[in-house]
């Protein structure tokens, strides 16, 4: 019985705690509309993702320690002053693609650490003076895609460290609008493309000191008619982008002094919206130009523009992509000083022989996305070439002479061609090559190309080819290879002694051979379901015994895998004592054997997805004391009970999305003391009292983030389908029948004890209170009709004083003065309860005369009578009590009778012993006391010469 009571008391305390927490929901860690991705690095920045949530206001539960916030692609219309309060650690804020039309002044004042603010694609129209107040550390500001028409002159004053400003696609019309930006002390880049400037003329900019600007982008201004720099306000300017500037009639370049552009090293042009002579004039005025980009300039290139370009002595980098000019390469013969050349996306079918032969300093060449059918001959002569990209062409064959002289080549990209085979000698001379990409070709054989040369190759991608056979020793010369991505059907990785990362995509029917990969740390096996249904092929578990350095093992099977050739047995992982990360997706048919990871005590991350884990044995986790990440998504798990005995004290991240969990016992999380990230999305939750504890835990715990918990929906019962799990009202769940019975029985016990206590100690007070209440009711009904008293006075006396009352008092008061007195021996109704008789007598008389003697004070009934008279005095606030002392009683004898002593001290009284010689005067004073009205006073118009004693009442 004691245990049951303790249980219910605990339930009551939980309910009270729930009510307390309900008053302050901001303490909860689970976020209503955002999530924080799990990071293995405990010191990593806290990144909050609130994108694409249809938010109309900034969430009010953003964690205070967040460093990056993504709020893009929502419907936020306004930024309020307190939206980002207390986010003193926030460094990057993304507010792109919302509906923001207004920002309260000082809204960013608390973001003292903010360095990057992105507000592109909103509806801002003006930048007010105090908009950016407090952003003293901001270095990057993006306001592109708004409707900004004006900028207050003091808007950028607080941004003393601002380096980059992007105001693309707004409605600025005057160059003077950007003057506050150019006055910033550290400004480096300004982009104002896509605005409504009719011109850009420095004479309109009145700067006190030259600007520190290095990059200026004024592209996409279709009303542009003039670009003029006539003052020395840009001494540090290095790059100008004039792409798509001007109208059909063209625009004018006005730079009278070439020294004003002495630091210009980069220039971008696209579309011929400037006259041919003007662009030649521009190019001839730039003595320091090193990088030139000309896109969609076919018209001027056809007229011989490249002849002018190639005469620029300082030019080192030339981008000509998106220019569809026949024989484009022929026009580059004179550009012999180039070190970088980009001819991608030019519809080139061949690179004319001799067109780039003289570019002896060329280090970077891009011919990507063209129509080349073979490697250009000129490449053979480019001995300085280091990076070559000829991917996404139509090359079908590589010859041994193609790369004979490109001995300095470090990166070679041949992806997405039609290469079907390789010759043994094709890469023989590429001794410095480190990166080779031949993915997405038609390769079916390697032809021994990797058995010689390529001693320094570190990365090789052969994915998405048609390799049928990999023979032993096919990669034997690749001693430095660290990462390999290949699809193969058979064996052999001999010679790859330094390989650390291997990604392979074998079909289900294969013979593995991983011998020789002693340094392999990261292995990804992406199985291809080729429809194999024959007998199970031999799988050599012993080949994995050599993988002693393995740290990350990922095994993925795509498609239906019934009849799969193997499940990973414990023997396979025995040698991988350093394994830290294991992933098996759509691989196991059922839960792994309990001994599978017996040796892998260093395991930190375990992922088993798309597997039936309904019969999972908790003993599987016993060898994993350091496990931090557990992902069992899409695994038909119905309960979390397996975690009770799992010994996962170090687990930080638990992912159980897309399972069949309906009810969660929240006490399971007591066994996961380090848990900080919990993902239970897309489970069929039951919205009833069985989940009340879990719901309360989600709302109140301050350690574990339950990802998107406020978006969890109800699947059961039918009446709750579609509702949100955390919207379910759990308050009534705590009031079950047994709990109500406990409360009721507790109340009965308490009331019984209280009633016994009251009866024993306060029964007379209660009796009087009862009669007083009745009198009050009676009085309230009769008050308007006026009070009626049967007697002038009720005489309260002790039976020992009866003789004096009858011999002295009655003759004097009734006989001589005619007063109507009530005596309990004579006038009380026989058979009626004593207390009721006394009460009726007191309230039926105008006054009560108490005949005080020692016997009176010792009498219980007399004490009740004077007590009731005193209560009437207090209740009615009328002068209804007359004290008559029949004998002298010293004050110290009145001390035990507190009430009597108190009245004697505060009221005058009559003393018979003092009036024994003047009885006439005494009875006259008594008569006067009976004559006085009902006013609440302690004194009367009495003769104080005789028989009156005691202090007067203080006024």
Q: What is the per-residue pLDDT across 893-904, written as a single tens digit (0 to 9) for each?
A: 765 554 555 665
User: Which stretch, 355-369, 721-735, 748-762, has highest mean pLDDT?
Assistant: 355-369
pLDDT of residue 930: 83
Is 791 strand, coil or helix?
Answer: strand
Q: How confident is the model at residue 616 (pLDDT cuts 50, 70, 90)?
A: very high
Least confident range from 326-330, 406-410, 600-604, 911-915: namely 911-915
**What percent of the chain lies above the pLDDT cut of 90?**
54
pLDDT of residue 389: 98
Q: How confident is the model at residue 235 (pLDDT cuts 50, 70, 90)?
A: very high
Which residues are bridge partners to 823 per DSSP? 795
Mean pLDDT of 554-581: 73
pLDDT of residue 738: 72
Mean pLDDT of 42-52: 91
322 dihedral zone (left: phi>0; alpha: psi -120 to 50; beta): left
Tally of CB atoms within 10 A around 293: 18
Contact 792, 845 (CB under 8 A): yes
Mean pLDDT of 292-309: 94
The DSSP line for 365-377 is EE--SS--SS--G
Contact 605, 627 (CB under 8 A): yes
How far does CA 502 lie from the centroid of its chain?
Answer: 37
Mean pLDDT of 253-266: 91
pLDDT of residue 568: 66
Phi, psi of 491 (to 5 degrees): -110, 180
What span, in angstroms and rounded, lies between the C-alpha atoms of 579 and 605? Answer: 9
pLDDT of residue 945: 36
> pLDDT at residue 736 above 70?
no
Mean pLDDT of 346-354: 94
> pLDDT at residue 955 above 70?
no
> pLDDT at residue 473 above 90?
no
pLDDT in tens, 431-462: 999 999 999 999 999 999 999 989 999 999 99
pLDDT of residue 74: 97
pLDDT in tens, 404-423: 999 999 999 999 999 999 99
Burial of 746 (C-beta count, 10 Å sphere; 0-12/13-18/19+): middle
User: Which stretch, 679-688, 902-911, 921-930, has highest mean pLDDT?
Assistant: 679-688
pLDDT in tens, 770-812: 888 887 777 666 655 555 788 889 998 998 888 888 888 889 8
> pLDDT at residue 231 above 60?
yes
Mean pLDDT of 495-518: 70
The DSSP line for 15-77 is HHHHHHHHH-GGG--S-SS-EE---S-TTS--EEE-TTS--SS--S---TT-SEEE--SS---
User: What domains are there in the chain, each with its CATH number?
Assistant: 2-30+689-735 (no CATH), 789-949 (3.40.50.10140)
pLDDT of residue 67: 96
pLDDT of residue 16: 46
* Average predicted confidence (pLDDT) for the chain: 86
Contact 473, 497 (CB under 8 A): no
> pLDDT at residue 552 above 90?
yes
pLDDT of residue 835: 82
pLDDT in tens, 183-216: 999 999 999 999 999 999 999 998 889 999 999 9
pLDDT of residue 511: 55
**Higher-confidence position of 902 and 833:** 833
Q: Give the CB-side neighbour count of residue 249, counting CA atoms within 13 A.
A: 5
What span, in angstroms and rounded, lies between the C-alpha atoms of 925 and 940? Answer: 9
> pLDDT at residue 947 above 60?
no
> pLDDT at residue 944 above 60?
no
Cis omega (within 30 of 0) for bond into 423: no
pLDDT of residue 515: 65
Mean pLDDT of 936-948: 42
Contact 129, 156 (CB under 8 A): no
> pLDDT at residue 938 above 50?
no
Mean pLDDT of 352-372: 95
Mean pLDDT of 465-492: 78
* Residues written for the chain: 955
pLDDT in tens, 310-339: 999 999 999 999 999 988 999 999 999 999
What span, in angstroms and rounded, lies between the C-alpha atoms of 111 and 127? Answer: 18
Least confident range from 110-114, 695-699, 837-841, 871-875: namely 871-875
């Amino acid at each position: 019985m004691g245990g049951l009571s303790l249980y219910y008391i605990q339930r009551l305390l939980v309910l009270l705690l729930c009510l307390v927490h309900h008053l302050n929901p901001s303490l909860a860690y689970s976020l209503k509309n955002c999530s924080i991705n799990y990071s293995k690095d405990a010191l990593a920045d806290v990144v909050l993702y609130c994108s694409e949530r249809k938010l109309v206001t900034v969430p009010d539960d953003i964690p205070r320690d967040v460093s990056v916030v993504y709020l893009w692609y929502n419907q936020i219309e306004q930024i309020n002053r307190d939206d980002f309060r207390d986010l003193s650690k926030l460094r990057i804020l993304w507010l792109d693609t919302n509906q923001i039309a207004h920002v309260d002044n000082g809204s960013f004042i608390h973001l003292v650490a903010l360095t990057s603010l992105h507000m592109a694609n909103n509806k801002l129209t003006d930048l007010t003076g105090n908009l950016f107040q407090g952003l003293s550390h901001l270095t990057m500001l993006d306001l592109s895609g708004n409707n900004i028409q004006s900028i207050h002159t003091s808007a950028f004053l607080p941004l003393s460290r601002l380096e980059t400003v992007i105001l693309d696609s707004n409605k600025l019309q005057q160059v003077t609008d950007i003057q506050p930006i150019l006055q910033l002390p550290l400004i480096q880049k300004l982009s104002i493309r896509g605005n409504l400037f009719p011109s850009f003329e420095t004479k309109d900019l009145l700067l006190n000191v030259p600007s520190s600007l290095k990059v200026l982008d004024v592209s996409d201004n279709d009303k542009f008619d003039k670009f003029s720099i006539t003052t020395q306000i840009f001494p540090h300017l290095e790059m100008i982008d004039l792409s798509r500037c001007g109208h059909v009639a063209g625009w004018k370049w006005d730079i009278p002094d070439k020294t004003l552009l002495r630091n210009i090293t980069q220039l971008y042009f696209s579309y011929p919206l400037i006259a041919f002579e003007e662009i030649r004039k521009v190019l001839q005025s730039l003595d320091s130009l090193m990088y030139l980009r000309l896109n969609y300039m076919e018209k001027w290139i056809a007229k011989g523009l490249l002849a002018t370009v190639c005469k620029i002595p300082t030019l080192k980098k030339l981008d000509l992509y998106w220019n569809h000019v026949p024989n484009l390469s022929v026009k580059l013969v004179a550009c012999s000083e180039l070190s970088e050349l980009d001819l991608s996306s030019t519809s080139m079918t061949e690179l004319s022989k001799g067109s780039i032969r003289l570019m002896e300093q060329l280090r970077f060449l891009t011919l990507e996305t063209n129509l080349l059918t073979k490697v250009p001959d000129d490449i053979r002569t480019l001995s300085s070439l280091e990076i070559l990209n000829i991917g996404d062409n139509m090359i079908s064959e590589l010859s041994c002479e193609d790369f004979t002289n490109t001995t300095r080549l470090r990166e070679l990209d041949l992806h997405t061609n039609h290469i079907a085979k390789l010759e043994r000698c094709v890469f023989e001379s590429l001794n410095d090559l480190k990166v080779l990409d031949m993915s997405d070709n038609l390769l079916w054989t390697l032809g021994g190309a990797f058995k010689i040369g390529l001693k320094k190759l570190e990365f090789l991608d052969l994915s998405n080819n048609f390799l049928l056979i990999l023979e032993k020793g096919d990669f034997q010369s690749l001693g430095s290879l660290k990462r390999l991505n290949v699809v193969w059907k058979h064996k052999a990785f001999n010679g790859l002694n330094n390989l650390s990362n291997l990604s392979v995509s074998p079909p289900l029917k294969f013979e593995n051979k991983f011998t020789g990969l002693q340094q392999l740390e990261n292995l990804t096996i992406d199985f291809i379901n080729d429809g194999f249904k024959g007998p199970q092929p031999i799988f050599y578990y012993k080949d994995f015994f050599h993988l002693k350095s393995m740290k990350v093992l990922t095994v993925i099977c795509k498609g239906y895998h019934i009849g799969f050739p193997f499940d990973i047995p414990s023997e396979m992982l025995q040698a991988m004592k350093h394994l830290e990360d294991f992933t098996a997706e759509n691989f196991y048919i059922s839960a792994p054997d309990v001994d599978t990871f017996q040796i892998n005590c260093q395991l930190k991350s375990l992922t088993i997805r798309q597997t039936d884990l309904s019969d999972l044995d908790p003993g599987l986790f016993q060898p994993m004391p350091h496990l931090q990440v557990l992902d069992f998504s899409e695994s038909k798990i119905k309960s979390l009970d397996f975690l009770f005995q799992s010994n996962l004290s170090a687990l930080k991240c638990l992912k159980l999305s897309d399972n069949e969990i309906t009810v969660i016992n929240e006490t399971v999380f007591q066994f996961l003391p380090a848990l900080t990230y919990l993902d239970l999305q897309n489970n069929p939750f039951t919205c009833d009292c069985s989940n009340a504890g879990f719901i309360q835990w989600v709302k109140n715990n301050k350690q574990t983030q339950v990802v998107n918990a406020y978006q969890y929906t109800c699947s059961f019962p039918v009446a709750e389908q579609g509702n949100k799990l955390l919207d379910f009202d759990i308050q009534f769940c705590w009031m079950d029948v047994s709990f109500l019975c406990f409360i009721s029985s507790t109340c009965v016990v308490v009331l019984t004890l209280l009633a016994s206590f009251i009866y024993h100690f306060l029964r007379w007070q209660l009796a009087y209170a009862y009669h007083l209440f009745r009198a009050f009711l009676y009085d309230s009904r009769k008050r308007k009709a006026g009070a009626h008293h049967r007697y002038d006075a009720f005489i309260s006396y002790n039976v020992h004083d009866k003789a004096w009352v009858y011999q002295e008092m009655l003759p004097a008061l009734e006989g001589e003065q005619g007063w109507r007195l009530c005596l309990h021996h004579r006038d009380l109704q026989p058979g009626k309860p004593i207390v009721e008789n006394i009460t009726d007598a007191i309230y039926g008389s105008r006054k009560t005369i108490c005949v005080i003697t020692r016997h009176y004070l010792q009498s219980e009934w007399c004490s009740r009578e004077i007590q009731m008279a005193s209560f009437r005095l207090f209740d009615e606030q009328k002068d209804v009590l007359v004290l008559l002392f029949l004998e002298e009683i010293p004050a110290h004898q009145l001390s035990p009778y507190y009430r009597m002593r108190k009245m004697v001290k505060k009221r005058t009284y009559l003393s018979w012993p003092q009036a024994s010689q003047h009885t006439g005067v005494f009875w006259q004073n008594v008569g006067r006391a009976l004559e006085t009205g009902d006013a609440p006073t302690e004194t009367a118009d009495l003769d104080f010469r005789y028989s009156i004693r005691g202090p007067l009442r203080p006024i």
